[in-house]
Chains A and B, each alone.
Chain A
Amino acid sequence: MSLDSPARGCRDTPVLKERGQREVFCGLTGIIWLHRKMQDAFFLVVGSRTCAHLLQSAAGVMIFAEPRFGTAILEEKDLAGLADANTELDREVARLLTRRPDIKQLFLVGSCPSEVIKLDLARAAERLTTLHAPHVPVYNYSGSGIETTFTQGEDACLAAMVPTLAATKARDLLVVGALPDVVEDQCLSLLAQLGIGPVRMLPARRATDLPAVGPETVFALVQPFLGDTHAALIRRGARHLPAAFPFGEEGTTLWLWAVAQEFGISRAHFDAVTAAPRARAAKAVAAHAETLNGKSVFFFPDSQLEIPLARFLARECGMTPLEVGTPFLHAAITGPDLDLLPEGPVISEGQDVDRQLDRQHAARPDLTVCGLGLANPLEAKGHTTKWAIELVFTPVHFYEQAGDLAALFSRPLRRKALLTAPIFRPEISRGPGQSPGGQP
């Protein structure tokens, strides 16, 4: 709100829809942050060695000694008889829950192979819930690459939990989307200062903290990739508060204001609560905007955060988006951000990576946001890149992280400037009149 809306936004921009080779992760990857967020949950992928290898590679190869996720690897004999596969699954789950009595919720996560052989994990989850009741509810969702792209895994996971949430008639605010703990605390603190509550989170840190949902529930999304969860909550009677996403000073203010209005908070009180953090955020962003201002940016599709982030970079950092690629475009969810994103960039959905690389090459952007598979090859060709996965693995939401978010984009540009600066040749010499003893 510090800036006026653009004359024309991108909501009506025709979308370039592409299909072909996609250089993105599948939905299983979400497990990497979800298993840290839900501290009493275990994620059991039913899949192949490829799934297990993906998880450990995406996690930077084994950053945890014994993680709260694992893969039940399908073997030849599981493919031959599905009945046996179910028996084997029950056995592995029983063994796991005995070994880890601290586990209070279990997610059976479907994969490409389990989908193709039509292993019914929904049925399995029902069966296992009965078997291990009341201690461990067993959920099921698909993180397969044939159905989900990267962050859609979190969407599928949360959507699977919604139907089992308790019913309520209370007028609660539900904040939906996994946030780093520090950011979640900041969000709750801001809402409390505004006088908004009670506030519940989905996902919750522990099974016992799971929210209830009902016709009086209003919910706000903090992640733009939660399309199915959005639909599932509406089916439970909850109402969505559409808003720009809380990235940067402007996004955070718009998001909070949408919630504040719903709860009848006065503008004066709102301004009083937000003035100081807004000023801090603006100041922190300004330090990086110096580097970013006037530079162009090109987004390859990755996390679905691309639209809100392009809005942040365009409006708060002075950058010019050339193409904003996203795996999926939920116009209903990212509409407020599309309205604010000044017209100009190509908005593309889906991917044909070789053709998109051709476009990127022709556009010669100052900064390219892309996945890990593309970043080094593009750097080697002289492009400056920001790897997109860091945007998902770093606290970037709300006021106090606005500067950190801008820094993620400015650091690659500063690094390039440092490494290509005019050569500095330090002189290493004692000089003529000096000798080791210090006597001329």
Chain B
Amino acid sequence: MKLTLWTYEGPPHVGAMRVATGMTGLHYVLHAPQGDTYADLLFTMIERRNHRPPVTYTTFQARDLGADTANLFKDAARDAYARFTPQAMIVGASCTAELIQDDPGGLAGALDLPCPVIPLDLPSYQRKENFGADETFHQLCRALAKPMPRTEQITCNILGATALGFRHRDDVAEITKLLGLMGISVNVAAPLGASPADIARMGQAHFNVLLYPETGESAARWLERACVQPYTKCVPIGVGATRDFLHEVAALTGLSPQVDESALRLPWWSASVDSTYLTGKRVFLFGDATHVIAAARIAATEIGFEVVGMGCYNREFARPMRAAAKAYGLEALISDDYLEVEDAIAAAAPELILGTQQERHIGKRLGIPCAVISSPVHVQDFPARYSPQMGFEGANVIFDTWIHPLVMGLEEHLLTMFREDFEFHSDAGPSHHGGKADLREMAEDAPLADAARGALPPGFASPRDISGQKMEAEAPPLPASPVWQALAERELKKIPFFVRGKAKRNTEAYASEQGVAEISVETLYEAKAHYAR
């Protein structure tokens, strides 16, 4: 039993729903009690889908448990076929139905429905959403895909995109375009946008492009064996990874990896002088392993950030995650415990978080800007505009998205120079964000006398109360913390909020190291010089 406030992943049957809802002509009969229909709203509300997920819930109640839930399932499956006449059906159980052990696969098989019926075995008490999607797609391929003659032209399948995926819709479009530039057309993209009939002709492709290992790797591995289709291992998120991907495809096909890069802007945007203020900014990354590993490479080598922490919530990918973190001299955080992630972020005191919807909340609490790079995401991360993460346009989108939450470069300088301005101060938030600035009292500046008595000036150490207390509380305590002199405290307060936490920690660490008991203004600047990069 484990206490959970927020979960990064839903249960495995939600993963199966992501496959079914992304496809056409497939219907999912789910043995489940009333209430499990909440999952429909993930698709109709968060993703704004204009149709109901193709799912029939058997909706058993307490009074059915003593009677005949098996017949309830059979009726539901029969009615679902009659009403929706799908090309194929998947059947399975949610967490509660798993406990009553009705065997949906066996029951549906006995109905002799005039379409393929694929049973799903998704252990709800051991596995989670990504596993459910991956396994469902894998089973669909096993049941429907067969080896067949290759297409005359070089074609590939694109694997792994599902409903409710982070930017999957646009990633598939971008990669299709990119492959088109190499002269490769797409045979089938699945699950998103495919029908069971499409899955049945996947064997025609020359190779597979695996975009999302979390939801497509099992299918890719099975197709490699059964249909002798190699698959790509490089996920094309970022400039370097996209070029690597093109070379990988070139090696598989013998085509040239040189494509038109005239629409790629990230490298110049990073190199232009305005981006100097990005250099060395401390970033913490958390999300699914694929997106975090790719984002770390972009952060470190394509924008020039310093990666100070990274991790993923999907334990299945702990190994590659740990290896990637090691390359940045870090220990990966593998956890699906929201509070543990929050503690790790507080301790690392980054200047930018790249995470999921969860980290966006952590960022808000700690007063640290955050951009979203991975599922789970909320309705605002399903934009109307074309907004891929993959390929060259994806790299452009990523630059804009990550930079947006930060205070702009020149603004940062002005804040450093004139931080006591009552309208334009470090607590007001970046000026390109609306609805944030709260005017300070003009005379709020703490009188020296207060500071001398030992009281911390208001707003000390962090711009927002909660985050301040939180940061103080969560940061590992330093042995015999040195005492701040009043003047040094005032000086610290003049440092803009986005670096103040780091400056405070560095100064205290430096003072402890040097055996300085009282921090003076001089100590502050000695520490600054000591840590200067």
Residues of B within 8 A of A74 (CB): 1, 125
A112 to B64, CA, bound (A): 13
* Min C-beta distance of A111 to chain B, whole Å: 8
CB < 8 Å neighbour of B4 from A54, A70, A117: A70
Given the interface contacts A26-B35, A373-B40, does A115 sit within 8 Å of B62 by beta carbon? yes
Query: Which of B47-55, B205-213, B309-317, B508-516 touches A?
Result: B47-55
Given known A21-B76, A49-B124, contact A72–B99 (CB-CB < 8 A): no
Interface string of B173-187 (1 = CB under 8 A from A): 000000000000000
Please measure, in the bound complex, the distance between the C-alpha atom of A76 and the C-alpha atom of B37, giving whole angstroms. 24
Q: Does chain B have a CB within 8 A of A144?
A: yes
- Bound CA span A136–B219, Å: 51
Q: How large is the interface on B (under 10, 10 to 19, 20 to 34, 35 or more residues)?
A: 35 or more
Whether A380 is near chain B, meaning CB under 8 Å from some CB there, is: yes
Mask for A30-74, Cβ within 8 A of B = 1, else 0? 000000000000001010111011101110111001110111111
**CB-defined contacts of A19 to chain B, threshold 8 Å:** 59
A174 within 8 A of B: no
A75-B61 Cα distance, complex, nearest whole Å? 23
Task: Please give, as numbers and ranges, the residues of chain B lying within 8 Å of A46 by CB-CB distance.
Answer: 1
Of the residues B50, B358, B364, contact of A376 by C-beta under 8 Å: B50
Q: How many residues of A contact B (CB 8 A)?
A: 65
Provide the residues of chain B in CB contact with A62, threshold 8 Å.
6, 357-358, 361
Within 8 Å CB of A69, what residues of B?
5
Q: How far is the CA of A124 from the CA of B5 in the complex (A)?
A: 21
* Nearest-neighbor residue (CB-CB) of B466 within chain A: A65
Quote the shortest CB–CB distance from A128 to chain B (angstroms): 14
Q: Does A216 contact B (CB under 8 A)?
A: no
A-contact 0/1 string along B365-385, CB 8 Å cutoff: 100000000001010000000
Q: Is B126 an interface residue (CB 8 A)?
A: yes
Chain B residues contacting A26 (CB-CB under 8 Å) are 33-36, 38
Q: Given the complex of chains A and B, what is the CA–CA distance between A54 and B4 in angstroms? A: 13
Query: What B residues does A145 contact at CB under 8 A?
Result: 33-36, 96
Let me know if A72 and B1 touch, CB within 8 A: yes
- Known contacts A21-B56, A22-B37, A372-B45; A73/B5 CB under 8 A: no
CA distance A71 to B59 in the complex (A): 22
Complex Cα distance, B94 from A70, in Å, reads 20
For residue A120, CB closer than 8 A to chain B, the reply is: no
What is the CB-to-nearest-CB distance from A125 to chain B, in angstroms, rounded to a whole number? Answer: 16
Shortest Cβ gap from A121 to chain B (Å) = 13
Bound form: Cα–Cα A67–B38 in Å: 20
Is the C-beta of A23 less than 8 angstroms from some C-beta in chain B?
yes
Contact with A along B95-122 (1 / 0, CB 8 A): 1100110000000000000000000000
**Chain B's nearest CB lies how many Å from the CB of A379?**
8
- CA A48 – CA B123 in complex, angstroms? 12
- Contacting A70 at CB < 8 Å: which of B5, B61, B378? B5
| A residues near B61, Cβ cutoff 8 Å | 146-147
B-facing residues in A354-378 (Cβ within 8 Å):
354, 371-377
Contacts of A78 in B (CB 8 A): 1, 125
Bound together, the chains give a CA A113 to CA B378 distance in angstroms of 28
Complex CA distance for A149 and B49, rounded to whole angstroms: 25
Kindly state whether residue A20 has any CB partner on chain B within 8 Å. Answer: yes
User: Which chain B residues border A56 with CB–CB below 8 Å?
Assistant: 6-7
**Cα–Cα distance between A88 and B2 once the two chains are bound (Å):** 8
| B25: Cβ under 8 A from any A Cβ | no
Pair B7/A49 contact, Cβ less than 8 Å: yes
Interface residue from B33, B38, B99 paired with A144 (Cβ < 8 Å) = B33
- Asked if A57 meets B365 with Cβ closer than 8 Å, knowing A62-B6, A377-B44, the reply is no
Determine the chain B residues whose CB is within 8 A of the CB of A22 once the complex forms: 34, 37, 57, 59
A54→B34 CA distance, assembly (Å): 12
Does A92 have its Cβ within 8 Å of any Cβ on chain B? yes
Q: Distance in Å from the Cβ of A30 to the closest Cβ of chain B?
A: 12
Q: Which residues of A contact B246 (CB under 8 A)?
A: none
For B9, the chain A residues whose CB sits under 8 A away are 49
Best-buried of A69, A371, A376 by chain B (most CB within 10 Å): A376
Minimum Cβ distance to chain B for residue A159 (Å): 16
Residues of A contacting B378 with CB < 8 Å? 60-61
Residue of chain A at shortest CB distance from B2: A73
Q: Are A50 and B11 in contact, with the CB atoms below 8 A? A: yes
Let me know if B2 and A72 touch, CB within 8 A.
yes
CB pair A61–B46 under 8 Å, yes or no, is yes
- Judging by beta carbons under 8 Å apart, are B14 and A116 in contact? no
Q: A52-B7, A373-B37 are in contact. List 16 more A-B contacts (CB 8 A).
A: A22-B59, A26-B34, A49-B10, A49-B11, A54-B38, A56-B7, A57-B46, A58-B41, A60-B378, A72-B4, A74-B1, A78-B125, A92-B1, A92-B2, A113-B96, A145-B96
List 28 A–B pairs whose Cβ atoms lie within 8 Å, in order of A's numbering.
A22-B57, A22-B59, A26-B36, A29-B38, A48-B95, A49-B9, A50-B14, A50-B94, A50-B95, A54-B36, A56-B6, A62-B358, A66-B339, A70-B4, A73-B1, A74-B125, A78-B125, A89-B1, A91-B1, A145-B34, A146-B33, A146-B60, A146-B62, A146-B64, A147-B61, A372-B45, A373-B44, A377-B50
Chain B positions within 8 Å of A, measured between CB atoms, are 1-7, 9-11, 13-14, 33-42, 44-46, 48-52, 56-62, 64-65, 76, 79, 83, 94-96, 99-100, 123-126, 128, 339, 357-358, 361-362, 364-365, 376, 378
A-B complex: 10 closest residue pairs judged by Cβ atoms: A26-B35, A145-B35, A373-B40, A380-B50, A88-B1, A112-B96, A372-B41, A48-B95, A145-B33, A53-B10
